[in-house]
Structure 1
Amino acid sequence: MAHADRRGLPLSTSSDRAAALYRDGVDLLLAAWPGAAERLDAAIAEDPDFALAHAARARLHAMRAEPAAARTRIAAATECVARHGTGRERGHVAVLALAIDGRAPQALAQGLAHVEAWPRDALILSLPLGAFGLLAFSGMADHDRARVDLCERHARHYDADDWWFLTYRGWSHAENGALALGRDLAERGFALRRENANGAHALSHALFEQGAGAEAEALIEGWLPSYDRSGILHGHIAWHAALAALERDDPGQALAVYAAHVGPSVTAGLPLNVLTDTVSLLWRLRAYGHAVPDGLWEEVAAHADRHFAGPGFAFADVHRGLLAAATGDREGAQARIAALTGLVAAGRLAAGEVVPAICRAALAFVDGDDAACIRILDPVAAEVARIGGSGAQREVIEDTLLVALMRSGESARARTLLDRRLHRRPSPRDARWRERLPA
């Protein structure tokens, strides 16, 4: 009997057990749930020529920022699929190989073409989706809309109870502003599979965008203990709870969550999540007028130096710019700004001028030069989405502009920005700031 994956696509393996282990492993991978590596390794042990098991294992290595292991596994997948793989399997492996090799534009183009032919190939469809997906990091300003369009284009191919597709379709809509629809879809997907960190994550984003911080905190408090601390999204989902605590002006609770779950020494999260979660939370604390305990910035700087030394990755570069400004590393900040400016001039930074501009604005903000901060951020404010990530993550840049406007006495412009934000999302923090502005 021919074997198939969870969504009915044929698998080139003769082993019942290998196929079953592969299905379970991919489910766990798509749920960001511990155990995927062990299932996929066992599938490979059952059938060493099982190309897609090697490919999924390579994807998991890449997600965990283990590039050497990812390259080894994808090479094995490429060799196996060339000997006895279908056209769909060869295309699947080729897209993952491009992504693992760092050729993101080619991986995106080939991945989108692949899912036109095989829309139910969920592992490949997952690559462009999410806040850290190929679309988000493409440099596009409208990647939120592009993810919605992609999901809707292929929605008819997915069952109504496909927990993975519901999760990502919902998250895409929520990020693009269709909050009621996005939340409903994400809740339905999460209800179908609660052992799904991506489900909890998507729902946390939808709640944040709705201004439902208390619901987000309650969700995370009740669900997070069921998610092993080795899970790659454990610290990041906790970060959402810390963000909600800051929204209601409880920096003590935000710091308690940070100390227990988010800081570099306590999380097993992806290096990029660790960098961006820690920097953005500590920057918000400082910008909102709260004290950052001694040693926290230095610990984050050590993590950043280990994992993101060189420029060229826009989302990391922006957070390294905030970090350098906050820690007084003017020399490092200026060197990175110069390098980024050179990459922009050479056409080698897809997100463009917005990246060095944010870094320059961060220095001005820390120096107390609010006029310069505003002058730098204003022209690029509409382009911030090009750095990637989610709305919740990128809001730290708009917060910086808003605080600079308030500190500089530009009350009318601050009021306009706050009114626009409050119309989009009822934030208790923004409401407090709005009340404090002079008439």
Structure 2
Amino acid sequence: MALKDALGLTYSGATEAGFSSYARAVRELQCFIGDPVGSADRAIAEDPGFVMAHVFKGYLFGLATEREATLVARACHEAALPLAATARERAHVAALGHLAWGRWHEASRILEDVAIDHPLDLVALLTGHQIDFFTGNARMLRDRIGRALPAWRSDMPGYHAVLGMQAFGLEEMGDYARAERLGRTAVELEPRDGWAQHAVAHVMEMQSRQKDGIAWMRANPDAWTRESFLKVHNWWHLALFHYDLGEVAEVLALYDGPIYGEASTMALNMVDASAILWRLRLGGVDLGGRWTALADNWHKAGGGNYAFNDAHAMMAFVGAGLEAPAKTLLEAQREAMRGSDDNAA
């Protein structure tokens, strides 16, 4: 049992019903909106033998940079291993296995090969791009997408996401004019594309165009915040523009509102909270009890899973003046460095 999508890619073990939920999950990830995990779960419930549904769910958890999520990614990999699959799908299963066991660079390399052979494989591009982001590989953020872009046309589903990813990669490599142009085009095509919105914000941050940045972020916030799981990070970008202008009251209002008014325990959101409070601390701003609330959630999260998260957890422990969790985190880091995965390095 296999079917083909609108771009000609084959999906083993999928029925129309299961593929409909899978396609929804992919669309949600393109914009960073909705509940792609829920959509992937529905695809799996419809078609337990649908290998890419298991892989896609595994990618979502593998990219969460949290210990418990990594265990789910490994379970998804185990579920996918025995299922019928094409060569392209088997490569995805292998990439998920490497990601789930902390071999991010090897997962990146396999997904690079998949996208070279199948440049219209949007999941390979989306997942590879995020791995490049988490590993700080600026050149691949640009070139992974740049290689695939000539195969895409503006009438293809997901084209806005490819433009948005290319915009971010160009920005990370300092090609600001092209990055802004492509990012704006992506947002025009799909106003809810939070990653493209974020790419243009990066350009303006790098060029110290704070007022342009504030105007860009405040022009249509409903589009990039509604049902978005990237919204905290994009609010953080708006806060940075205000911070750069010395508008501390605006920064604190954003922190106490959309950034951390609801005290999230998701690492990606806590990173943003730490990053803005640390800037304010360095500027001598009295932050009251904000550090303590944030440090409490970092303490619950544990350490040693992803070095970037640990750095931001330590900011919170130092900011709150908490010696015991700081020492615990240092020990977790020492333990992590004894590992053999990419995080150890």
Q: TM-score, normalized by length of structure 2?
A: 0.86
- How far apart in 2 are the matches of 1:104 and 1:273? 18
State the partner residue of 1:300: 294
The aligned residue for residue 70 of structure 2 is 67
Contact 2:3 2:11 in 1 (8 A): yes
Show the counterpart of 2:307: 314
2:80 aligned with 1:77: yes
Residues 1:348 and 1:76: Cα distance change in structure 2 (over 3 Å): closer
1:96, distance to aligned residue in structure 2 (A): 1.8
Is the Cα–Cα contact under 8 Å of residues 31 and 195 in structure 1 kept in the other structure?
Answer: yes
The residue that corresponds to 1:88 in the other structure is 88
Aligned twin of 1:278: 273
Which residue number in structure 1 is paired with residue 233 of structure 2?
236
Aligned to 2:55: 55
User: Which residue type is aligned with residue 78 of structure 1?
Assistant: L
1:266 equivalenced with 2:262 (yes/no):
yes
Does structure 2 retain, via aligned residues, the 8 Å contact 1:95–1:124?
no
Residue of structure 1 in register with 2:150 after alignment: 156
Confirm or deny that 1:98 pairs with 2:98: yes
Deviations 1:124-163 (A, max 9, x none): 222332xxx333444x6xx212322322233222224511
Preserved contact between residue 26 and residue 36 of structure 1 (Cα < 8 Å): yes
Where does 1:28-427 land on structure 2 (aligned, <5 Å)? 28-64=28-64, 65=66, 66-80=69-83, 84-129=84-129, 133-138=130-135, 143-160=137-154, 162-227=159-224, 230-263=227-260, 266=262, 271-292=266-287, 294-307=288-301, 309-311=302-304, 313-330=306-323, 332-333=325-326, 336=329, 340=333
| 1:284 maps to amino acid | R
How many residues are treated as equivalent by the alignment? 339
Please report how far the alpha carbon of residue 281 of structure 1 lies from its aligned counterpart in structure 2 after TM superposition.
0.6
Deviation at 1:254, TM superposition (A): 0.7
Percentage of pairs with the same residue? 24
The answer to whether residue 27 in structure 2 is matched with residue 27 in structure 1 is yes
**Structure with the greater alpha carbon radius of gyration:** 1
Question: Do 2:317 and 2:326's aligned partners in 1 also have CA atoms closer than 8 Å?
Answer: yes
Shift of residue 6 of structure 1?
4.9
Deviates more, 1:311-320 or 1:322-331: 322-331
**Aligned mates of 1:349, 1:94 — CA distance in 2:** 16
CA 1:152–1:226: 2 relative to 1, 3 Å: closer
- In the aligned structure 1, how far is the partner of 2:306 from the partner of 2:119? 29
Does the 8 A contact of 1:34 with 1:228 survive in 2?
no
Aligned mates of 1:29, 1:345 — CA distance in 2: 34
Q: Cα offset for 1:91?
A: 1.2
Distance between the aligned counterparts of 1:343 and 1:10, measured in 2? 39
CA distance in 1 between partners of 2:342 and 2:100 (Å): 19
Letter in 2 for 1:217: I
* 1:190 CA drift (Å): 1.5
Give 1:167 deviation, angstroms.
0.4
Judged with a 3 Å threshold, the aligned counterparts in structure 2 of structure 1 residues 267 and 171 are, in CA distance, closer, same or farther, namely farther
How far, CA to CA, are the matches of 2:42 and 2:256 in structure 1?
A: 36
Deviations 1:19-74 (A, max 9, x none): 23322221112221104234333333332221112222232344455334433333
Q: Which runs of 5+ in 1 are unaligned?
A: 353-439
Give the TM-score, by structure 1 length: 0.69
Q: CA deviation at 1:246?
A: 0.9
Q: 2-side partners of 1:232 and 1:192: how far apart?
A: 20
Distance 1:232 1:146 in 2: 24
2 CA distance for matches of 1:112 and 1:252?
A: 44
Letter in 2 for 1:282: L
Task: Show CA shifts across 1:250-302 (max 9, x none).
Answer: 11111111111111x5166x82322221111111112123221x210011111
